[in-house]
Amino acid sequence: MTTVENGCGPTETPTDIDIDALRDKYRAEREKRLRKEGSKQYIETTGQYAGFAEADPHTPFVERDVIDTDIDVAVLGGGFAGLLCGAYLKKAGVEDVHIIEQGGDFGGVWYWNRYPGIQCDNESYCYVPLLEELDFIPSKKFADGAEIYQHCRNIGKHFGLYDGAIFSTQVRDLKWDDSINRWRISTNRGDDIRARFVVLASGSFNRPKLPGIPGIKEFVDAGGHIFHSSRWDYDYTGGDASGGLEKLADKKVALIGTGATGVQLVPFLGRDSQHLYVFQRTPSTVDERNNSPTDPEWAKNLQPGWQKERQRNFHSWTFEGMALGQPDLVCDFWTELGRNTAARVLALPDPASMTPEQFMGIREEEDYKLMERLRRRIEALVDDPDTAESLKPYYRFLCKRPCSNDDYLQTFNRPNVTLVDVSETKGVERITDKGLVANGQEFEVDCIIFASGFEITTEISRRYAIDTVEGRDGVSLYDNWAHGYRTLHGMTSRGFPNQFFTGFTQVGISANISANYELQGEHIAYIIAEALDRGATTVEPTEEAQAAWGATIRETAVDTSAFDAECTPGYYNNEGGGQGEDAGEGIRSHLGEPYGPGFYAFGELLREWRDKGDLDGLVLRT
């Protein structure tokens, strides 16, 4: 079946564009925003800024006894990564599983992020995991945050993960103790937990980061209010995730950040604030949302295995570029470029003989046309031509995470909403005791909200937020990985016995983040269950197996550096890598060092490895 037969075909995009001129414009817009410090421009939420991340607005702090115990498995993190690992551990028969989580409940990003308007931006039928297993279907295509949070809690209940869960607790140090063959876990609560196995499952969006704008302290000291979007302060704003921020009616509010979070926030802040100033460095792409309630007839007729099939279909249309011969089941702004490219390919006299270069050329042209469609949409929706021009994204699709929203652009037509374009100065210049300075002008505000994102591609020590991770002989994991990951299958590392990793290390990557965690959870659970069954006290990769996997990663790597280097800075390309002497760590993909043949080939490789049953490349000691 072609996409058109499925009722989901290519879109109409402008053809009257000058690609060479646009290419130059993209480059100039990138250069304008590139900062020499790269990702080091951001402030960590530690020390005097710890309150931005550590305060939990959802669960009051309750004193508890110190935990002093021996356990089988500690999973560090209770979001999708930790929950899926926990679920597969239980399925594999491992009972003594304890999830340690900073928040007061399961949910991870869906626990912390409860800002007004929060919804899933990817189709929830793909994104929300274990739908078939829990017999649940989200109520709409892009589900509300509260519904996904509840689903996380349901996963916890379904698999008995609440038993033994340790909430409102932050791991401080993680040290391998050779004398007892266990990991010693110390926490901010003074605990001493000795775990036979440890799984690091902190996810990608666990640590808020702040833009390095001087003056935050001066603003707070003068009585200004300030918080990060992932720690929404409803006491201050009033209302809830569905809006009604009535306490902002007499407040001037500054929003810094126009990524996926900022785009969801603006319609609510614009409607309820006395005045909203949106400080924008780079505009997001914002397409129609077309959110729709789930059709009960469709849901009733879904066949077993449907979710994995849908995830695979979405993955093919986005990450693999297109999926000739398959319908586009998701059919939205994420898959449009693939559909338009496929239509062009099918119109070739002999599509089968197309070269990779031809394919990339067609896709690039379609990319320019698609982005032009999005820019013209802005002109049609935003009244003020200067504001419309500032809102136009000039970069390749997927340089930044695409967004969709039916109220965002129109909000800039409101008289109480001002867009402040800070691209010329590479960001807001300064914060003062009264407000913010941008383009030489001071904007007085009562409140500053940072929708400034998370530590996603910064150094691993910043991302894990664990002071010490020390393996055998006191070797630091951060030092061990200083020049790149060293793992077997992206999930275990030599010198760090009984320790497992989830996330974007050296793994095959799916376009569905939860599918990645599910695959990794299943594999890690298998190894831990086998080690326990075989009476092993330690399991870790051999030096040879780890080196061989590193070589496989390098040999199969798909080089995306040219694309990343042309992209406007952002977390997708490690803020463009920086430039000059003080530069950040260079261009680095937010996908880690992926296994080139892709997610499904990786899944197959792991399945075959497990089927052999000999734990090839791992050393088990009893």
- The token pair that represents 510 in the structure block: 């799916």
Q: Please report how close the Cβ of residue 426 comes to ligand NDP at its closest, in angstroms.
A: 7
Of 50-58, 128-136, 447-455, 525-533, the segment contacting ligand NDP by CB under 6 A is 447-455
Count H helices and E strands in the chain, helices first: 21, 21
Using CA atoms, how far residue 571 sits from 178, 244, 446, 457, in Å, is: 38, 31, 29, 6
Q: Which of residues 267-286 bind ligand NDP (CB under 6 A)?
A: 279, 281-282
The Cα-based distances of 97 to 90, 166, 293, 462, 531 in angstroms read 8, 11, 37, 26, 15
> Which sign, positive or negative, has the C-alpha torsion 6, 372, 400, 414?
negative
CB of 424 to ligand NDP, least distance (A): 12
Among 87, 165, 260, 370, binds ligand NDP (CB under 6 A): 260
Per CB under 6 A, the list member of 219, 333, 485, 571 interacting with ligand NDP is 571
Strand partners, 501: 200
Quick check: helix, strand or coil at residue 307? helix
Binding window for ligand NDP (CB under 6 A); candidates: 74-82, 96-104, 258-266, 535-543: 258-266
Identify whether the C-beta of residue 285 lies closer than 8 Å to the C-beta of residue 392. no
Tell me how far apart the alpha carbons of residues 421 and 427 are, in angstroms, rounded to a whole number.
9
Query: By C-beta, is 113 or 480 nearer to ligand NDP?
Result: 113
Residue 205 sits in the site that holds ligand NDP (CB under 6 A):
yes
Q: Is 195:528 a contact under the CB 8 Å cutoff?
A: no
What are the structure tokens assigned to 122, written together?
A: 């990817």
With binding defined as CB under 6 A, does residue 402 bind ligand NDP? no
> Judged by CB, which is closer to ligand NDP: 126, or 137?
126
Residue 197 near residue 85, CB atoms below 8 Å: no
The nearest distance, CB 211 to ligand NDP, in angstroms, is: 3
How far is CA 494 from each of CA 482, 540, 609, rounded to the nearest angstrom?
A: 15, 6, 18
Residue 427 interacts with ligand NDP (CB under 6 A): yes or no = yes
- Report the Cα 213 to chain-centroid distance in Å: 23
Q: Is 261 a binder of ligand NDP (CB under 6 A)?
A: yes
**Least separation in angstroms between CB 144 and ligand NDP:** 10
Among 82, 211, 503, 576, the residue binding ligand NDP under the rule CB under 6 A is 211
Task: Tell me the window of 100-108, 494-502, 568-576, 602-610 that interacts with ligand NDP (CB under 6 A).
Answer: 568-576
As a whole number of angstroms, the distance between CA 351 and CA 336 comes to 19
> Which of 3, 45, 102, 119 forms a contact with ligand NDP (CB under 6 A)?
119
Decide if residue 401 touches ligand NDP (CB under 6 A): yes
Q: Which range touches ligand NDP (CB under 6 A), out of 13-21, 253-261, 341-349, 372-380? A: 253-261
Q: What angle do CA 281, 11, 360 make, to 5 degrees?
A: 70
Q: Quick one: 264 or 318, whose CB is closer to ligand NDP?
A: 264
Q: Which of 78, 86, 129, 259 binds ligand NDP (CB under 6 A)?
A: 259
Q: Which stretch binds ligand NDP (CB under 6 A): 155-163, 328-336, 338-346, 569-577?
A: 569-577
For 335, phi and psi rounded to 5 degrees? -100, -5
> Of the candidates 198, 213, 466, 532, which one interacts with ligand NDP according to CB under 6 A?
213
**Applying CB under 6 A, does 257 fall inside the site for ligand NDP?**
yes
Kindly state the smallest distance separating residue 262's Cβ from ligand NDP, in Å: 6
Give the span between the Cα atoms of 322 and 341, in whole angstroms.
7
Closest CA to 158 of 124, 132, 133: 133
* Interface residue with ligand NDP, options 405, 452, 502, 514 (CB under 6 A): 452
Tell me which H or E stretch contains 344: helix 336-346
Q: Is 120 in the site for ligand NDP (CB under 6 A)?
A: yes
Q: Which stretch binds ligand NDP (CB under 6 A): 8-16, 60-68, 252-260, 330-338?
A: 252-260
Q: Which of these ranges, 91-99, 297-305, 365-373, 565-573, lies near ligand NDP under the rule CB under 6 A?
A: 565-573
How far apart are the C-alpha atoms of 283 and 394, rounded to whole Å? 8
In the complex with ligand NDP, which residue's Cβ is closer, 279 or 595?
A: 279
How crowded is residue 7: how many other Cβ atoms within 10 Å of its Cβ? 9
Q: Establish if 262 lies at the interface with ligand NDP (CB under 6 A).
A: yes
- Cα 363 to Cα 354: distance, rounded to the nearest angstrom: 12
Tokens of 207: 């640590």
Q: Does 512 bind ligand NDP (CB under 6 A)?
A: no
Q: What sign for the dihedral angle of Cα 579, 584, 588, 590?
A: negative
Specify the stretch interacting with ligand NDP by CB under 6 A; choose among 14-22, 174-182, 261-269, 468-476.
261-269
Task: Find the helix or strand (DSSP H, E) in which 277 lies.
Answer: strand 275-280
Site for ligand NDP in 358-377 (CB under 6 A): none
Enumerate the β-bridge partners of residue 88: none
Our CB check for ligand NDP shows the closer of 331 and 438 to be 438
Candidates 451, 509, 528, 531: give the one binding ligand NDP (CB under 6 A).
451
- 121 touches ligand NDP by CB under 6 A: yes
Residue pair 294/141 in contact by the 8 Å Cβ criterion: yes
Which token pair is 443?
Answer: 């904007």
Binding site for ligand NDP (CB under 6 A): 33, 119-122, 205, 211, 213, 256-262, 264, 279, 281-282, 401, 422, 427-428, 451-454, 569-571
